[in-house]
Amino acid sequence: MPELHLLRPDHAPALLVFERENRAYFAASIPDRGDDYFARFDERLRELLAEQEARICYFHVLVNAAGEVLGRVNLVDVADGGADLGYRIAERAAGRGLATSAVREVCELAATGYGLTMLRAAARVDNSASRAVLARTGFTVTGETRLSGRPGLTYVRRLQP
């Protein structure tokens, strides 16, 4: 079973492979990162690690035994006991429950390790897989939004330490 790790500098090569291999797959349901993300990957990774060091964000990678990144689960904009949750799973690993288990684990870390009391999330209405993960992991719908110009739903989950 893949393990969840807090992002480290040595994850960079596998993370870049993950992002490149899944770029088109992800762009079908979430905004594309753009060419600049890949051109400035090392610089952007340093910025993310600095945000993590400052406890503004927590970036996690789901890594298999071979060291390949199969997914990401991130907590961003940490403030006032809350954060925004985002996640993505590699196309070849989708449909195996990895997103659900990784989101559950990050929710536990958020409560017990990071001292958070609430997580927010959003998913496009047409992204039934993501909406199912949020429902299975205890998130409830709080409203409507637009994501990449398409209808979406907002969610919240209260956390217990």
User: What does the domain layout of the chain look like in residue ranges?
Assistant: 3-158
pTM of the model: 0.93
- The distance of Cα 104 from the centroid of its chain, to the nearest Å, equals 12
**Per-residue model confidence as pLDDT tens digits over 59-112:** 999 999 999 999 999 999 999 999 999 999 999 999 999 999 999 999 999 999
pLDDT, average across residues 45-60:
97
- CA dist 115 and 109 (Å) reads 8
- The CATH number of 3-158 is 3.40.630.30
**Per-residue model confidence as pLDDT tens digits over 114-144:** 999 999 999 999 999 999 999 999 999 999 9
pLDDT, average across residues 41-69:
97
pLDDT band at 41 (very low <50, low <70, confident <90, very high): very high
